[in-house]
């Protein structure tokens, strides 16, 4: 019997992955933090623990029936905060090492490790960024990027020892199913609720979470062990994103777009304000840097080897807003998205 193991299942990508696996009739086991909200607990097998605690991973990998285990390691702390947070390193680096060690020990059939395009060394503006097998925290900016670079370097070293693992690098994820952690979804939510009256200039490569899920599941079947695949979409400005949202919501578009240098002056206050609200910050010094960085990513390798495709950006915005406006309905109401 096939069984799909998902870490980080309550995150945006993890939850979207679980929805798709259930649509396909797969048996799913998820790894959740104690008391972590998860809307599909009655439809999957749940194991509680923490990736930073190796002992808590033992029941997650328990396989008395010798099933074929397929692991999607999506657990991680996505941070655009400027200050150092030891938890980011503990989860993204040490936690990943713990998960991979247990997967190796228990002979998991195939693994997809979810990294990020931020782990890849940036090229000068105008130069397209493609896959690499060389990763070093010194080559990237920001705590999150450094931890993902360190983790993927370790994962690829295990692949050389025989671990059946494929690495995927999503770009900026948008789409339905987020439970309140995704900074981009938070931006759309604030705009839909009339809380956003100005935004910043710049943009990034945005990709639909459902397209990333499709790429992950195809990587489980078609991905070559030890290979990396960029799962990106296309570049879009923040203005384009919010203008599409305004059109879908029949709202007046935002008129004021501030230069990143001006907003960066107030970024520390923005971070403090969102920490008080216990909500993901929208703009930090790091996120402002990211919106001005080179995000010309190529997903040609994934398209060629995994048959990876991306949907129109307009559909992503529309479906994200539909999900936000339908919050509170049963999980089944989202399965058609």
3-state helix, strand, coil in the chain (%, to 5): 45, 15, 40
Class level of CATH domain 2-177+204-235+295-311: alpha beta
State the sign of the Cα–Cα–Cα–Cα dihedral 33, 165, 94, 61. positive
Q: How far is CA 280 from each of CA 24, 78, 273, 275, rounded to the nearest angstrom?
A: 32, 10, 10, 8
Which residues lie below 8 Å from residue 125, measured CB to CB, with a gap of 6+? Answer: 294, 296
Instruction: Read off the pLDDT of residues 83-113 as tens digits, 9 standing for 90 and up.
Output: 678 999 999 999 999 999 999 999 999 999 9
User: Which tops the pLDDT comparison, 199 or 218?
Assistant: 218
Main-chain phi, psi angles of 173, to 5 degrees:
-85, 135
pLDDT of residue 50: 98
Distance of alpha carbon 40 from the chain centroid: 19
pLDDT of residue 202: 86
8-17, 124-133, 159-168, 267-276: which has the minimum mean pLDDT? 267-276
- Annotated domain spans of the chain: 2-177+204-235+295-311
Q: Please state, in angstroms and rounded to a whole number, the distance separating the CA atoms of residues 166 and 171.
A: 17
Tokens read off for 24? 């396909």
pLDDT of residue 200: 82
264, pLDDT greater than 90: no
Q: Please state, in angstroms and rounded to a whole number, the distance separating the CA atoms of residues 27 and 29.
A: 7
Mean pLDDT of 296-321: 97
In the 8-state DSSP scheme, what is residue 329? S
Instruction: Read off the pLDDT of residues 214-235 as tens digits, 9 standing for 90 and up.
Output: 999 999 999 999 999 999 999 9
């Amino acid at each position: 019997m096939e069984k799909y193991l998902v870490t980080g299942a309550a995150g945006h990508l993890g939850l979207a992955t679980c929805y798709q696996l259930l649509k396909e009739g797969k048996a799913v086991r998820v790894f959740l933090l104690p008391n972590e909200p998860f809307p599909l607990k009655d439809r999957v097998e749940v194991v509680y623990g923490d990736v930073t605690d190796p002992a808590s991973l033992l029941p997650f990998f328990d396989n008395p029936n010798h099933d074929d285990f397929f692991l999607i390691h999506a657990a991680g702390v996505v941070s655009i905060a400027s200050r150092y947070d030891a938890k980011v390193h503990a989860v993204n680096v040490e936690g990943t090492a713990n998960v991979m060690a247990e997967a190796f020990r228990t002979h998991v059939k195939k693994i997809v490790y979810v990294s990020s395009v931020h782990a890849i060394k940036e090229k000068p503006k105008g130069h397209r960024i493609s896959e690499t097998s060389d990763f070093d925290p010194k080559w990237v900016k920001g705590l999150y990027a450094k931890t993902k670079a360190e983790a993927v370097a370790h994962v690829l070293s295990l692949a050389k020892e025989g671990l059946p693992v494929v690495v995927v690098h999503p770009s900026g994820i948008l789409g339905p199913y987020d439970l309140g952690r995704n900074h981009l979804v938070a931006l759309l939510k604030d705009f839909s609720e009339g809380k956003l009256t100005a935004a910043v200039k710049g943009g990034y490569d945005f990709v639909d979470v459902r397209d990333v899920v499709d790429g992950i599941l195809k990587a489980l079947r078609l991905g070559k062990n030890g290979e990396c695949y960029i799962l990106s979409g296309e570049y879009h400005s923040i203005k384009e994103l919010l203008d599409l949202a305004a059109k879908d919501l029949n709202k007046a578009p935002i008129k004021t777009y501030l230069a990143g240098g001006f907003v960066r002056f107030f970024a520390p206050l923005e971070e403090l304000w969102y920490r008080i609200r216990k909500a993901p910050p929208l703009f930090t010094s790091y996120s402002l840097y990211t919106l001005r960085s080179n995000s010309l990513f190529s997903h040609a390798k994934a398209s060629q080897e995994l048959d990876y495709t991306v949907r129109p950006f307009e559909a992503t915005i529309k479906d994200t807003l539909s999900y936000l406006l339908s919050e509170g309905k049963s999980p089944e109401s989202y399965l058609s998205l």
